[in-house]
């Protein structure tokens, strides 16, 4: 077993739920699985001296979890003023409608179909609820509507599924596209180099204390997988299923369907760039 401190991004040990930075607190949803890791991280963000909080990704439609998010905010002297979504996948967004009812808040997302009672989100938008400053960072690739949220005051970025606290994410072809995803990772790298981002607050898994290390690992991993897929095709493995069996042989077979989505995205990317 690898020492946690040596893993890319320096995953923070201990319980995932609870305070993460001066302005953020995680409430872990009870939906663990091979794809969601320990469950979905629902984030409560607020200025320490404000009574208003923003929630990112209420998670699945689980009444007890949604109430736990509200209660956790209340125990900290906060009430929910706004709900934001990183993307449309059910483990992040399914509970948003019910959460909006419980909190009487608007829901904002990149996809207008997910926005309720408020405007959609776009690149460059700044969320200022309760004096907070959250900057919207478009990061398509995992899905077409994936967003991250930059929290400058804490030197942190909330990444949804674009970067996970453990393992690597799926480029969910055909909605997700690898070229977009690589561009998004480079965009996040620029935040770590130019804007002082040091902490990753992911949609699943533990907090990462080395944001730049995590991004660099993701970029290197994608380059390595692309090279493996290219080699597999050159060796005669033509279908996505054949490539998965060859390239992802060491991965748990329960994850092969997800791996096939990523392989399809990789094959599309290699084809577009004339590499296969």
Hey, which residues does 160 pair with through a beta bridge?
202
pTM recorded for the entire structure: 0.94
The rounded distance, in Å, linking the Cα atoms of 96 and 113 is 12
Q: How many Cα atoms occupy the beta-carbon half-sphere of 53 within 13 Å? A: 27
Active site residue ranges:
91
Q: Helix axis angle, 96-103 relative to 63-75, nearest 10°? A: 40
* pLDDT band per the 50, 70, 90 thresholds, residue 3: very low
Q: pLDDT by residue (tens digit) across 241-269?
A: 999 999 999 888 999 999 999 999 999 99
The rounded distance, in Å, linking the Cα atoms of 259 and 243 is 10
First vs last C-alpha separation in the chain: 36
pLDDT more than 70, % of the chain: 97
State the alpha helices, DSSP H only, in 113-210: 178-194
- DSSP class of residue 36 equals T
Least confident of 7-21, 107-121, 154-168, 251-265: 7-21
State the alpha helices, DSSP H only, in 58-167: 63-75, 90-93, 96-103
The SS3 of residue 197 is coil
- The yes-or-no verdict on residue 15 having pLDDT over 90 is no
């Amino acid at each position: 077993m690898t020492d946690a401190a040596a893993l890319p991004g320096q995953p923070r040990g201990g319980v995932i739920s609870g305070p993460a930075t001066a302005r953020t607190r995680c409430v872990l949803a009870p939906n663990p699985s091979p794809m969601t890791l320990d469950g979905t991280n629902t984030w409560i963000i607020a200025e320490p001296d404000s009574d208003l909080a923003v929630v990112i990704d209420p998670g699945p439609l689980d009444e007890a979890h949604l109430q736990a998010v509200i209660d956790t905010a209340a125990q900290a002297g906060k009430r929910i003023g706004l709900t934001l979504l990183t993307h449309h996948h059910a483990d992040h967004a399914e509970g948003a409608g019910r959460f909006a009812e419980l909190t009487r808040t608007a829901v904002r997302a990149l996809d207008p179909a997910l926005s309720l009672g408020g405007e959609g989100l776009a690149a460059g938008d700044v969320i200022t609820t309760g004096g907070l400053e959250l900057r919207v960072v478009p990061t398509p690739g995992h899905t077409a509507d994936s967003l991250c949220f930059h929290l400058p005051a804490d030197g942190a970025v909330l990444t949804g599924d674009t970067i996970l606290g453990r393992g690597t994410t799926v480029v969910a072809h055909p909605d997700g596209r690898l070229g977009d995803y690589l561009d998004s990772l480079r965009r996040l790298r620029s935040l770590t180099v130019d804007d002082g981002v040091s902490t990753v607050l992911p949609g699943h898994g533990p907090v990462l204390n080395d944001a730049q290390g995590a991004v660099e690992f993701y970029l290197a991993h994608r380059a390595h997988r692309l090279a493996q897929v290219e080699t597999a095709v050159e060796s005669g493995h033509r279908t996505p299923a054949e490539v998965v069996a060859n390239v992802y042989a060491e991965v748990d077979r329960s994850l092969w369907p997800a791996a096939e989505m990523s392989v399809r995205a990789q094959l599309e990317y290699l084809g577009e760039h004339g590499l296969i």
